[in-house]
Amino acid sequence: MNDLFQRLQELQLLVEDGNRRALARFEITPTQYQALRSLDRGPRGGMTVTQVADALLCTRGNATRLVRRLLDLGMVQTRSDEQDHRIVVVSPTALGKRTYRAADKVLQAAGARRLSGTSAKDRVLLEGLIDDLTVSLRRDLAEQVAPAGGTGATARRRAAG
At 81-137, the pLDDT tens digits run: 888 888 999 999 999 999 999 999 999 999 999 999 999 999 999 999 999 999 999
CB atoms within 10 A of CB 57: 14
pLDDT digits (tens, 9 = 90+) for 1-51: 789 999 999 999 999 999 999 999 999 999 999 999 999 999 999 999 999
Q: Which residues contact 57 (CB under 8 A, 6 or more apart)?
A: 155, 158
pLDDT band at 141 (very low <50, low <70, confident <90, very high): confident
Count of CB atoms situated within 10 Å of the CB of 42: 17
pLDDT at res. 153? 47
Q: Quick one: pLDDT at residue 75? A: 97
**Residue 159 pLDDT > 50, yes or no?**
no
In whole angstroms, give the CA distance from residue 23 to residue 125. 28
Task: Note the pLDDT tens digit of each residue in 58-74.
Answer: 999 999 999 999 999 99
Q: What is 2-117's CATH topology? A: Arc Repressor Mutant, subunit A (1.10.10)
- pTM of the full predicted structure? 0.81
pLDDT at residue 160 above 50? no
Q: What pLDDT, on a 0 to 100 scale, did the predictor assign at position 6?
A: 94
